[in-house]
Structure 1
Amino acid sequence: MSPLPVDLKILDYRLPTVRIFSPDEDAVIDRLAMMIEQRPALFKGMDVAMNYAEDLPNEFDQQVIEEFLVAHGVNVVARTTGEGNVLAFTASAKSQKSVPDEVISKSLRSGQRIYSKGSVVILGSVSSGAEVLAEGSIHVYGELHGRALAGVQGDRNAAIFTQSMDAELVSVAGVYRTGDQLDEGSKGNACSVMLDGDSLSFQSITQ
């Protein structure tokens, strides 16, 4: 069990997952508030799954936790098992269509290029020389070595998520950085890339 009441992880090839360990709802909310305050750009508009420890008491109020997240701009789109398998998509996910629009089950090789009119999930890696363009967000649950361009039609709420950042280029709504301009702390690590004003913000996904 985590020593913290709550953390944020990517489980398998799923969405970023908020894992709840503590039966103390106030402690969970306090920890979430601190995480959001420290990295507001990371959480704003983020799609997350919820994962509740199996030993939480029946009276634990999941709705209070999820309403807190939604009130702070986080999209709660699914609930998962301990292994990250999706149990159910939430009503808000269905109504807001927050679930990614396209899933690519294979890695992209050098020279391959895909374009998505919504958000896209790539379950493998993106090799050097490959390119992903999406009008929404890009989720790469392998390694990102190629080019990733999110929000290509100007969606400033789009973001890029990857398990391992080593991209040749990343761009959100036309604001870009090349590989030699990447944030040093993000290289080789799970992170998100999103707009913070008129510049790109790199945030660690693991809390």
Structure 2
Amino acid sequence: MAAVSAGVTSPFDLRSASLTLLALLLKTTDLKLLAAELAQRLAETPELFNQEPVLVDLTAVHADPTPLDMAALVALLRRHRMLPVAARGGSPAQMEAASAAGLGDSPDAVPLTPRAEAVREVVREVVREVQVPGATLLVDKPLRSGQQVYARGGDLVVLAQVNCGAEVIADGNVHVYAPLRGKVVAGARGDTSARIFTTCLEPELISIAGTYRTAENPLPADVLGKPAQVRLDGEKLVIEPIKI
């Protein structure tokens, strides 16, 4: 085995990474039923997931004695442009099948709620982040396409434009004091009291605690491009103008 010569930089580094995965909470082992439901939900938005990493949560079917064809499940999800990477919560047989299908065992992964669309794994290519009191993350530079910011455990305040293709995510509230044109997720770990505030609402996607709405469902004229807040009422997103 060849040795690395003195003075030569190591060919790789190992670093920790914060990952937030989209969670698919499986409620049935009937893949025909699941396939039909996915086809119906995604008929108008086939590109919605766009290779989003997915955690398959088997908690709800843990006690189901029906064998689960994990290889077929992985193939089904990939057909809908999801990227299954791990499983959790299954019975020993289910987890063994998941491993055989190439999925990792991720008991400690932090999933979004099952209805969430928005978050790819959080690779921070960010600008400048400033931690302020009260677990609030402050970003004061524009976010361009491909950049993602995640305020873990608190609120996110952005003082500059969030461009199309950028993503802003917080476990608490999200405040954007500039045009908001990318994807925005508040209550990423399920906080249904979280809200989104912005001085100019033009998002590609908005989500609170997993309930989401995309730009394919146009916003009302009284909030589009104007100061607005978004809150959750039950399982319905309520979008209201803010009078300034």
TM-score range, shorter chain: 0.5 to 0.7
Larger Rg: 2
Pair 1:73-2:103 in alignment: no
- For residues 59-138 of structure 1, the aligned pairs below 5 Å read 59-81=67-89, 85-86=108-109, 99-102=121-124, 106-109=135-138, 112-113=139-140, 118-123=147-152, 124-127=154-157, 130-131=159-160, 136-138=166-168
Pair 147,52 (structure 1): closer, same or farther in 2 beyond 3 Å:
farther
Q: Please, which runs of 5 or more residues in structure 2 have no aligned partner?
A: 1-18, 91-105, 111-119, 188-193, 225-231, 237-244
User: Match of 2:24, as an amino acid?
Assistant: V
State the alpha-carbon separation in 2 of the partners of residues 188 and 73 from structure 1: 23
Q: Paired residues, what number?
A: 162
Question: For 2:47 and 2:195, how far apart are their aligned partners in 1?
Answer: 18
Q: C-alpha distance in 1, partners of 2:27/2:80?
A: 21
Answer yes or no: is the 8 Å Cα contact 1:47–1:76 preserved in 2.
Answer: yes
* 1:102 alignment partner AA: R
Question: Which residue type is aligned with residue 61 of structure 1?
Answer: D
- Choose between structure 1 and 2: higher strand proportion: 1
Structure 1 unaligned segments of length 5 or more: list them. Answer: 1-12, 88-97, 152-157, 170-177
CA distance in structure 1 between the partners assigned to 2:162 and 2:203 by the alignment:
19
Map Cα deviations across residues 138-175 of structure 1 (whole Å, 9 max, x no partner).
33332222258899xxxxxx744333452315xxxxxx
In structure 2, the residue matched to 1:142 is 172
- Aligned match for 2:23, one of 2, 8, 17: 17
**Structure 1 residues 49 and 148, CA gap change in structure 2 (3 angstroms):** farther
Question: Counterpart of 1:28 in 2: which secondary structure?
Answer: helix
Q: RMSD value over aligned CA atoms?
A: 4.7
Q: 1:19 to 1:132 in 2, by over 3 A?
A: farther
Kept in 2, the 8 Å contact 1:79–1:86? The answer is: no
Question: Is structure 2 residue 49 aligned with structure 1 residue 43?
Answer: yes
**Secondary structure of 1:75's partner?**
strand
- Deviation, structure 1 residue 60: 0.5
Q: Which amino acid aligns with 2:196?
A: D
Q: Distance in 1 between matches of 2:71 and 2:180?
A: 31
* One-letter amino acid matched to 1:108: L
Using structure 1 for the length normalisation, give the TM-score.
Answer: 0.53
Structure number having the greater helix percentage: 1
Paired position in structure 1 for 2:100: none
CA distance in 2 between counterparts of 1:28 and 1:34 reads 10
Q: Equivalents in 2 of 1:50, 1:149: separation in Å?
A: 35
Distance across 1 between alignment mates of 2:178 and 2:170: 9
Structure 1 residues 74, 57: closer, same or farther in 2, change over 3 A? same
TM-score (norm 2): 0.47
Deviations 1:70-105 (A, max 9, x none): 112223243344897329xxxxxxxxxx63212989
